[in-house]
Structure formats: structure tokens, C-alpha cells
Structure 1
Amino acid sequence: MKKFLFFVPLLFCMTLLNGQKADFKSAEKFRSQNMSPKVGDLSVNANWIHESNRFWYSYKTSSGKNYYYVNADAKTKQLMFDSRYMAAEIHKLIHRPYNELDLPLTDIEFEKGSTAKFTFKIDSIQFKYDIGSKLLVIKDTIPKKKPEPRWASYSPDSTWIAFAKDHNLFLMKAKDADSVEIQLSFDGELNYSYSMNQSDTTKAKRGRSRARWFENSQKIYVERSDSRKVGDLFVINSLSNPRPELETYKYAMPGEENVPQDELILFDVNTKERIDVDLKKWKDQTIGVNWTSQESADKMVVMRKKRDLKELEICMVNANTGEVKVLFNELTYPYFNDQYNELSVLNEGKDIIWWSERTGWGQLYLYDQDGKLKREITDGYFVTGRVNRIDTLGRELYIEGFGREQGIHPYYTMIYRVSLDKPGITLLTPEDATHSFRMSKTNQFFVDTYSRADMIPKSVLRDKNGNVVL
């Protein structure tokens, strides 16, 4: 009898499970992009206007979407425009009705040197609005722009284009119909390529290259990977029409002998000279460029990391000679925290900010251009997170921190200010919640939206000391 009573509920549960069917259509309703229009906005996305302490934002509630204009210096907030008035004025100009509760304004941009006049687009028409006079005019009918070719990588000064062809690197003059292709490399091949698509089998087709430009457009660097010995991985493209297709690509599995081999190559745009940077140290190491000099194309900061992810080195590379100098070494166990393992370079390489768990707690350290430790920026029994803003003039950092404040959950993001040169740390967001950070370009104000599981999000405007302004 006991066995019978045991099997009855078991049989009932199995019947229910067998009767359930996957309802993907219903599940689709709960995807974020489908839920967002029903929920509205939960945070203030501040769009700071030029180098000022003013910003605008849109905010959608059950009553509709409104646009707001905030003057942090004056501690005021107002409607950027009345939505009903704007809808009526647009209708007057183009004779089309729009929903005043959800105006489809896109590409809002304030005019250079102005904090009162801005342009926006609806469909293919650009409008100009003056907040002071409330005057709306049609600025232009926007022709459809011819998209830039996807294979083109423009130099910062827009004079050159880098691209790949037949797995090699090429240059050509931009905006010149008679420009001649200049071949920079001659050793590219399938799976050892200068192209982003290493498995491309076309010969004459231009493709996106792996090239990256120095800021002054005088040099190019390429992080190239040799995957010729790496094993193939096979997947089925079940969405291919009319029949599924087999796709193959190079992929190294854990523990395999052959993995991609990274290398760094530099090209001088004027002389077309090539420099192969010798970064070899560990078998199967990975390399990555963290920074290139902004004023002159003469320096790079590069990270090389062992395959087991337990040791790395930060190196300074002379971009003129290819000489490599190790600045400092880092060991960790069981592996590096790549989410916070950031490196920031200031003053053309004279100051290097590095995040490390060498004490067991994630903290920030300041090094000079020779790899000498200048000071610990933060210390203590807590974890620092991302560097949200670097005030280069004030030599201050605005950072995330976790677990420093007593009585606050260690998973909550708190915002702090620290100096590059002086000891101490200042808490800017004391509320018991997780906080966000969007700062003005002047580094004087920031918008903080904070919330937790049992608290609706709240957005406030703070000054650089954390005081709530609005």
C-alpha cells in the first residue's frame, strides 16, 4: 500500500511534465526589448552639452515621454520643450501627425557653441529648435547617405585608408578616385592574415584589416595571429536556406598543443618601413596593445600574458625601433580578473594606473614611465572596480568600490574620489544601494541613479564632492 501511495504522485508529476510544451512565443514577450516599452525608463541618461554644466535627457513614464533640460550651475530643471506644442509645430511644417506622448525625435545635437539651440531628425527631415524663443524651423531635408565601405579603416586625419586584400595589408589615399593601392605586407596567408576574416578565400576582394592607427596618423600597428596549426571546429548553420550548411573555423580547445600565436607588427605610413616587434617570452602567450602615444607615434604600452593566465608583463615598446622594455610584472592565482584588470596611461606614458589583486584585494597603483611604483592610489580591505573618470588636470580618479562601507552589501557599487598624488579616499554616494555615474566634461557634476532589489530607482544630480544638487 505504501509503494502504491508513493507511485501515485510520481505518476501524476510525470504526466504533468509530459503534458508541458515549450511556448517560445510567450517567452518572447519577456525579452528586454519587448518589456522596455511597457516599463518605461528607470534611470536618467544624461547627455552633457559640450564643455558646459548643462545636460538634457528624455524620460518615459506611463504618462508619455518628456524631454528635460538641466542647468547644474543654477540647480534648475525644466522641460526642454512642451511635447504638445512641438507636435503641433511639426505638423504645421510638414503636415504629418505625430503622437505627442512619444515623439520620434532622433539625433538630438546642440549647435556648436550654443546651449539653447539644437537640431533633431524625424524621418528624413532635420529640424532646428531654439529653447529660448521656442522657434522651430526646417533646417534641411536629409539625403540618404551613401554608407562608408565596411572594408575601409580611415586614419584619424581622414587622409588614408587601410584595408586587407588576399590576406595582406594595403594603403590608399582617401577621397581620391585615382588613388593607387600601396601594398605594405607580403607574407599574409590563410589563417595567418592581416584581414579580420582570416578564413577568407577571395583573392581580389577588399576586406576589413586588423590595422589600428596611431592618433597622429603616422603609423599603423597590427595584432596578427597565426592559426595555421590550430584545429578546426565544425558547426551547423541550421538557418541556412534552403538546407543547413556546415561551417568550419579555427578554434583551440582547452589543453590542445596548438593554439593561435600572437605577434605585433608596425608600419610607417610615410616610409612604408615595417618593424616586427619581438615580444616572445612565454610559449603560447597572448599579447594586447593597451595604449599608443597620442602626440607622436613613438611609444606603445603592451601586455603579454602566459597561457595559464597566472602571470603577465606590462611592456613599453619603442615604436621607432621596436625595442621592448619590461615595466613591471604581475603574478596572480588562480587567474587574472579581466573585468577590472584595467590599465590607464596619462601624460604621454609618464603615469600608468594599474589595477591589481596582489594583496588579495583589488586596488589601484601608480607607476612611472620606467616601471617604478610611485604610490598605492588605494589600499584597504575592500575592492576597487572600474575607473569611471580620470580628471587629468585635477589629477583625480572617480572609481567604483565594493565592500568598504560597514552595513552596506559588498555587491553594491559605491562611487569614490581619490587623488593620484595624495592619500585618502572620499565616498561620494553614501546611500545603501548600488550606484551609477555619468559625469560632465567639466568634472564638476555627475548624475547618479541608485537602486536595489527592494527600492525603486532614484536619480539625483551631485557635485564633484557628492552633495546632492538636484
Structure 2
Amino acid sequence: MLDILFSKKGIFLLLFCAGILGTEAVCSQGMDAKYKRYNEFKELTKNKVLHGYFKPVWIKNTHTFWYEVLTESGKKYYVVNADQHKKKEVLDENKLLANLSGLTNKQVKAEEIDHLKINDDLKSFQFVYGNHIWEGSLSSNKLSKQEVYQKPQPFNWTMAQPDQTINEPVTSPDGKWLGFIRDYNLFVRDIKTNNEIQLSYDGGLGLYYSSYIQWSPDSKSVMAYLVQPADKHFVNYIESSPLSQKQPVYSSIEYYKPGDALPQFYPCIFNIEKKKLVASGRAYIPNQYSVENIDWNSDGGSLTFEYNQRGHQVYQVIKMDAVSGEVKVVIDETSETFIDYSSKKYRYNVNDGNEIIWASERDGWNHLYLYDGNTGKVVNQITKGNWVVRNVVHVDEGERKIIFAASGKEEGDPYLLHYYSVDFNGNNLKHLTPGNGNHRLSFSSDYTSFVDSWSRVDLPPVTVLRDAESGDELMQLEKSDISKLQETGWEMPEVFVSKGRDDKTDIWGMILKPSNFDPSKTYPVIEYIYAGPHSNHVPKDFRAHYNRCRSSLTELGFVVVMIDGMGTSNRSKAFHDVCWKNLKDAGFPDRIKWMKSAAEKYAYMDISKVGIYGKSAGGQNSTGAVLFYPEFYKVAASVCGCHDNRMDKIWWNEQWMGWPVGPEYAACSNVDNAYRLKGDLFLIVGEMDQNVDPTSTYQVADALIKANKDFDLMLLPGKGHEWGGEYGERRICNYFVDKIMQQKAPVMNQIEFEGSLIKKDIDIDN
């Protein structure tokens, strides 16, 4: 009997194991299909939005512009006369391709042509093909090959301070004087007589005058900075696998971090006739972060400059009188937390500085104020309300009118950009961009008309020409057609809003779903995060494909969400202040509550094991999620993260974390808190990252090892502040498939293919 029981148990176990193996086989087949879709989906959605966004190019000093747009028959190029409200086609891409193919004896594809532009004469055009610039005639089929195309140099992240001693002598506006530095002091030379006058005597090693001097317009005075230098900070690199040689290459860049000493610049005004110092700003601007935007008034009687005190809680506009020597604060901006000088600061001098238009968050929202530039008194507040001025487009001094962008004034999504005009006195506020969407504008050079393209993530773009005075529509230019995109199975993103941690504030985000979405199924949720306080980050414009793994992850069976939590910008000052000395917060209480609300509404969202990933500040955020909120976030991938704010660039981190460097830096550090890790973590870093010091990631790895934690680390040889291209994207996607779905991705090492599959960096495309 016992044998029979064991036999039955054995049969049961055999059948059970067979079931598991069968399920794994089915799962494997299912993942293969998903990865096939993942590989194909980007190309499948490419060029499927017709008559969509375009960039208008205005012909200088005219009311005429041209644009290119994708149509049913390829790209078309149009010229529009804004006065006559007429457009005409001037170039057909298909004819151009046929012509170029005939000249080169090669079938030229549309994607091989770059940087096409219509020239200002509206008779010719240029483009780049085969590493050369080509010229073409709009009235004939004539094409001619020109010089070799020089690619733009990549952005250099170095913070190198210019050498203040090497500038050439500077000639006065009247041509009579030459200003220069000798033995650390300021001299002027009479060009006619060659006589020299020494103006300063207090310069020396460690405290000297800058050779970048600035003459007053009347040539009676000269301004030179008295400079107190500081030690330089360098970040050092080893490029392990350079293309130039077998051995590694060593390099360094000048790079300043929170707490580093900074050079100090003290503006000093010297009178040439009196041969002496008249005014010095040295006593008024201690602990500088920066002194900049020196402006002489037109008669040379005074100058103004902006003083940003270290810690970014004091920002002033200071006026120095070149005759009396008086130094006074004209605008005194202070904050108990931070002044968002890097994103919201705006100053415009009206009537030679007798009036100043200034942006401030002093009433809790970013608005414009009109100042008396002489007394420093506020004449009036120009804009007001529970909404945010985002950008000043144009100031018309004659009409005393401002055109600006703002968000939050209209109903609905408070991040959608709209444009307005208003008088200097705050009257006649006029909405110029009707339409419930995010508006992108391009103005004629005289600001009499503009092209308005608007959309939302769930609404394809419409583009019209409007009158800049009234906002009235003059003519429709393009209206999107997404029918071909929808035929691919593409799923429209969804905007979702719920209450934040305070149960009062609306938190806005969006949901991306797979193209074969089935609401009766459940999908694990992954958050793509970037919580940098310098802006808001959830997309607002319509697009067919979301790079940086977002669309790829949906095709693998995930739902991807993006959320702007508290601590990000472009809402109220109180909303923004949550980040102050508290970057580890990253809006997580709002994000978690948002996802729980969404999951309550949508049964298809499975938040039992949420994943999260991001790059740079998003890399810090995603690692912080699994360290500080492990009960909710279970799996994270972090790319080039600024994991410790003491290790990252000075301007960004001191802006939000404050100065001097206090204990808050350690409290927010992923390095100091690495021991908290409970979930799965995948760290990725480019060894040549010049934006965020890559040692920030290495120090997290070191701390995790010392805490005896399991994690994954991928180093990208030769790469900078990047995702790692198609390879990095695949590895991130695979990580979530493995850790959240607990399924295996296709093993690339067992697949035969010709050459490399890595074609380009995923950061190239939006």
C-alpha cells in the first residue's frame, strides 16, 4: 500500500513538474513574441504621424516663413506669407531624392538627407548628404555638391574658470585710451601721447585686477574686477578602451562641487580724469556665488550688476554711481529657502535702466514686477494669481507691453504652456493661444504674428497662424493625421490626476500602455522618474514613441507611468520648496499615492512589485526609491546617478541643498544610506561622464559591498552621461523582465547575427 502511495505521489510530482516546464515553455514563447514586438515597435511607429509638428523658420525682417512637414506622399516644404495668409509648396522630397539618386547613381533614401533648409532668398536650398553640403535650386532640378560638412562639437561640461590675466588691452569707446593690467594692477595709456596712468595700487598675488575690463560709454570711467582667486577642483578620468591607442588615456576636467571655494569678483569703478578709485562693491557682496550681468547706463553715469550670494537665498541688483561712488541695492530678493535663479530669474532694463522688469516668487507664485530702477521701489505687480509665469518672450518698450508664456491660468493641466500679453501696469491681460493643449510658438521678427502648434499627450498637434495682437487665428497650417499610427495597434497615452500627500494638491502624471493592451489583464507597473527640481518633467506634447526604454517596456508587457510630484518646479513656491535640503523626498509620497489611486481605478495596474528607473537626477531618485521606500518600490535601474549631492556639480546641488554643506547632504545620500537596500538594484555608469562624476556611482557600489548587499553594476567604457545606447536599453528592459516578471529574456550570446546590432544611442531620438 505504501508503494502505491509513493507511486501516486511520484506520478503527481512528475505531472506537476511537466506542468511547470510546459508553462515555462509557453512563457518563453510569449516573451519571444514580446521581444519581437519590442524590437520592431519603434520602426513600426516611425513616420506615422502626418501633418504633425514642424519648426517654422522666419525669413529675417519679413512676414514670411518656411517649414517642412511629413505628408501622405513624403516630406513637403512650404513657404507661407503671413500677410496674405497664403502658403505654397516649394520643394517635394520625392523629386529631390530622385534627382539626387540620378546624380550619384545610387538609390538615396530620405533618412540619408539631413539639415535641409530653404535659403533666405527663397530661390535655393541646402542639405547634407554623404558628409557633404549640397546646394539646390527651387526653380529647377539643378543640384551641386559643396564643401565637406563639419559636425557640431559635442557640449563640453567643463566648469573651467577663464584666466583673468590673459585678456588683451581694451580700447575705450572714444578711441583715446587703452586699458590693461600690469603687475596685478589697472593702468590706462593715452593712445596719442603714450602716457600711462596707474589707477590701482592694491593688486597683488592672490588679489589682483581682472584684465577683462569694461569701459563706460562716455570713456570717462572704467570698471575692473578685483579678483580673489580660489583653488581649482578637478575630476580625473581613465578612458579604458580608447579608439586612439591600446593603452588607457588619462584626462582631467575643471569641475566644482558643493562646498568648494569659489573665486570672488569685486566690481571697481575708476575715474580717468581723477586718476583714482571712485566706487567699489567689495564691502557689499560677501560670499559670492556669482557676480554677473554688468550693465553701464548709456551716459556712463552708473552701472548695475547682479549679485547671487552663496546659498541662493539672497539675490540682488546693485547700482554703482560712477560720479558720487554711491553703491546701493536696487532690487533685494530674499528667500527662507532658495531663489530659483537658474530657472525663473528674469531681468529687463527699461528706458536705460530707469525701470526694471523683474521676476519673483515673493507672493508664492512666479510673477513679473515693475521696479523704479533709481529708487528700488516696486511701481506695480504686473502679473498676479495662482499661476506661474514661465518665460518672457518679448518686451515692447514703446507700447509698454509684454508677451509671455505661463501655465496654470487655464482650466485643466497646470503645466500646459499658454501665451499672453499684458501692459506694464498689469492691465489688458490677453490670452493669445486658445486651445486646450501645450502651445509651442514661433514669432515673426516684429512680433506681429506667430505660428502656434499645440497638442497634448492624448491629442495630436494642430498648427495655425495667429495675430499677435488679438490671438485671432489667421489661417490653419496643418492638422495631424494619426490614422496610420493607430493601425499599428498604438495605444493613446492617458493623463491621470489624483491628490497628493496633503489630500488637497493635484498631482499630474501619465500612463503608457502596451499596443496590444487588454483591460481584462493585469500589467506590472514601472515608473520612469526624473524629479530634478529645476523643472517639471512629465511630457506634455504629443508623440508617437517614447524613448529611454519607455515604449520598449510597454511592448514587453509593462505599464509605464510618469509623475510630477512635489518638489518639482512650475507650480507654487510651496509645492517647489518640498525639495529644499531634501532631495531624497523626490515627491515619493505623492508618487506612491498617485499610483495607488490609479490602481484603484484601473484593475489592470499591478502595483504589488513596482519597478523604477531613471538617469542623472533620475538615477539618484530611482536608487533612493528602493533605499527610502522599499515597502513600495522593489526593483530599480539607475543610470549615471548623482547619488551623493556632495559629489555632483556645485550649481545644481547648492541651488537645492543649500550652503554651507550641512548634515542634510548625508541624510539624502544614496552612499550613506546604501545599507537600507532591500530590493533589486541595477547601477549603470559611463566611465567618461563629465556631467556627473562617475565616482558617485562607484561609491554607491562600494557602500553596498561593505553592507554585504547584492546588486548589479554595468560600466560603459568610453561612454559619458548616456544610457548606453541600444545595448543599455536592452539590459535595463531585461532587468525588469527578470526581476519583476521573473521571466528570462532572449539570451543574446546564443543568437547568431552579422556584426553588431548596436546602431545608435537611444538618447538621439525623443
Structure 1 length-normalised TM: 0.66
**Number of residues of Structure 1 aligned to a counterpart in Structure 2:** 395
Which of 295, 301, 305 aligns to 1:302? It is: 305
Gapped runs of 5+ residues in structure 2? 1-19, 21-26, 28-37, 153-161, 172-177, 186-203, 476-766
Aligned AA (1:69): V
Is the 1:412–1:435 contact (alpha carbons within 8 Å) kept by the matching residues of 2? yes
Shift of 1:135: 5.3
Is the 1:87–1:97 contact (alpha carbons within 8 Å) kept by the matching residues of 2? no
Shift of 1:56: 0.8
1:71 and 2:68 are equivalent in the alignment: no
**Counterparts of 1:28 and 1:347 in 2: how far apart (Å)?**
59
Is the 1:63–1:101 contact (alpha carbons within 8 Å) kept by the matching residues of 2? no
**Correspondence for 1:187:** 184
* CA shift digits 1:51-99 (9 cap, x unpaired): 222211122457432211111222222212344555677789x777785
1:242-281 maps to which residues of 2 (within 5 A)?
242-245=247-250, 247=252, 249=254, 251-254=256-259, 258-264=261-267, 277-281=280-284
Shift of 1:358: 1.2
**Correspondence for 1:80:** 90
1:386 and 2:391 are equivalent in the alignment: yes
* CA shift digits 1:77-126 (9 cap, x unpaired): 2212344555677789x777785856556454314xxxx54554663554
1:228 and 2:237 are equivalent in the alignment: no
**Counterparts of 2:137 and 2:270 in 1: how far apart (Å)?**
45
1:368 and 2:372 are equivalent in the alignment: yes
Residue 236 and residue 287 in structure 1: after superposition, are their counterparts in 2 closer, same or farther (change >3 A)? closer
**Counterparts of 1:212 and 1:261 in 2: how far apart (Å)?**
17
Shift of 1:314: 1.0
Shift of 1:331: 1.6
Is the 1:44–1:447 contact (alpha carbons within 8 Å) kept by the matching residues of 2? no
Shift of 1:445: 0.9
**Counterparts of 2:47 and 2:215 in 1: how far apart (Å)?**
40
**Correspondence for 1:204:** none
* CA shift digits 1:1-49 (9 cap, x unpaired): xxxxxxxx9xxxxxx9xxxxxxxxxx99999xxx988978852312112
Residue 368 and residue 285 in structure 1: after superposition, are their counterparts in 2 closer, same or farther (change >3 A)? same
Is the 2:125–2:136 contact (alpha carbons within 8 Å) kept by the matching residues of 1? yes
- Secondary structure of the equivalent of 1:290? strand
Shift of 1:310: 1.5
1:284-303 maps to which residues of 2 (within 5 A)?
284-290=287-293, 292-293=295-296, 299-303=302-306
Residue 385 and residue 243 in structure 1: after superposition, are their counterparts in 2 closer, same or farther (change >3 A)? same
**Correspondence for 1:169:** 167
Aligned AA (1:278): G
1:450 and 2:454 are equivalent in the alignment: yes
Shift of 1:246: 6.0
Is the 2:170–2:213 contact (alpha carbons within 8 Å) kept by the matching residues of 1? no
**Counterparts of 1:273 and 1:64 in 2: how far apart (Å)?**
69
**Counterparts of 1:408 and 1:299 in 2: how far apart (Å)?**
47
**Correspondence for 2:334:** 331
Is the 1:169–1:194 contact (alpha carbons within 8 Å) kept by the matching residues of 2? no
Q: Percent identity?
A: 24
Shift of 1:235: 3.0
Is the 2:451–2:464 contact (alpha carbons within 8 Å) kept by the matching residues of 1? yes
**Counterparts of 2:329 and 2:347 in 1: how far apart (Å)?**
15
Residue 422 and residue 411 in structure 1: after superposition, are their counterparts in 2 closer, same or farther (change >3 A)? closer
Larger radius of gyration: 2
Which of 312, 316, 338 aligns to 1:313? It is: 316
Shift of 1:288: 3.3
**Counterparts of 2:133 and 2:108 in 1: how far apart (Å)?**
18
Residue 82 and residue 414 in structure 1: after superposition, are their counterparts in 2 closer, same or farther (change >3 A)? same
1:353 and 2:357 are equivalent in the alignment: yes
Q: Which is worse superposed, 384-393 or 283-292?
A: 283-292
- Secondary structure of the equivalent of 1:287? strand
Is the 2:79–2:90 contact (alpha carbons within 8 Å) kept by the matching residues of 1? yes
**Correspondence for 2:402:** 397
Aligned AA (1:236): Y
Is the 1:47–1:56 contact (alpha carbons within 8 Å) kept by the matching residues of 2? yes
**Counterparts of 2:217 and 2:146 in 1: how far apart (Å)?**
34
Is the 1:289–1:300 contact (alpha carbons within 8 Å) kept by the matching residues of 2? no
**Counterparts of 1:283 and 1:227 in 2: how far apart (Å)?**
14
1:427 and 2:431 are equivalent in the alignment: yes
**Counterparts of 1:331 and 1:90 in 2: how far apart (Å)?**
61
Shift of 1:346: 2.5
Is the 2:360–2:368 contact (alpha carbons within 8 Å) kept by the matching residues of 1? yes
- Secondary structure of the equivalent of 2:365? coil
More strand by share: 1
**Counterparts of 1:367 and 1:110 in 2: how far apart (Å)?**
40
Gapped runs of 5+ residues in structure 1? 1-8, 10-15, 17-26, 148-163, 174-180, 196-208
**Counterparts of 1:29 and 1:217 in 2: how far apart (Å)?**
67
Looking at both structures, which has the greater relative contact order when contacts are Cα pairs under 8 Å and sequence separation is at least 6?
Answer: 2
Which of 56, 62, 65 aligns to 1:46? It is: 56
**Counterparts of 2:53 and 2:457 in 1: how far apart (Å)?**
15
**Counterparts of 1:345 and 1:367 in 2: how far apart (Å)?**
10
* CA shift digits 1:416-465 (9 cap, x unpaired): 11111451311112322221221112221111221222112222211111
Residue 292 and residue 453 in structure 1: after superposition, are their counterparts in 2 closer, same or farther (change >3 A)? same
Shift of 1:372: 2.9
1:138-157 maps to which residues of 2 (within 5 A)?
none
- Secondary structure of the equivalent of 2:352? helix
**Correspondence for 2:413:** 409
**Counterparts of 1:128 and 1:267 in 2: how far apart (Å)?**
57
Structure 2 length-normalised TM: 0.43
**Counterparts of 2:91 and 2:234 in 1: how far apart (Å)?**
56
Which of 445, 466, 474 aligns to 1:469? It is: 474
**Counterparts of 2:387 and 2:70 in 1: how far apart (Å)?**
37
Residue 79 and residue 212 in structure 1: after superposition, are their counterparts in 2 closer, same or farther (change >3 A)? farther
**Counterparts of 1:401 and 1:337 in 2: how far apart (Å)?**
16
**Correspondence for 1:377:** 382
Residue 328 and residue 139 in structure 1: after superposition, are their counterparts in 2 closer, same or farther (change >3 A)? same
Which of 414, 422, 429 aligns to 1:418? It is: 422
Aligned AA (2:238): N
Aligned AA (2:381): E
More helix by share: 2
Is the 2:229–2:262 contact (alpha carbons within 8 Å) kept by the matching residues of 1? yes
* CA shift digits 1:293-341 (9 cap, x unpaired): 5856665431112222222221124568875332121222311122112
Shift of 1:365: 0.5
Residue 251 and residue 29 in structure 1: after superposition, are their counterparts in 2 closer, same or farther (change >3 A)? farther
**Counterparts of 1:353 and 1:434 in 2: how far apart (Å)?**
26
Residue 287 and residue 66 in structure 1: after superposition, are their counterparts in 2 closer, same or farther (change >3 A)? same
Residue 396 and residue 139 in structure 1: after superposition, are their counterparts in 2 closer, same or farther (change >3 A)? farther
**Counterparts of 2:94 and 2:220 in 1: how far apart (Å)?**
52
Residue 58 and residue 388 in structure 1: after superposition, are their counterparts in 2 closer, same or farther (change >3 A)? same
* CA shift digits 1:225-265 (9 cap, x unpaired): 644346x45433335652253637463434x6x44323346
**Counterparts of 1:419 and 1:124 in 2: how far apart (Å)?**
46
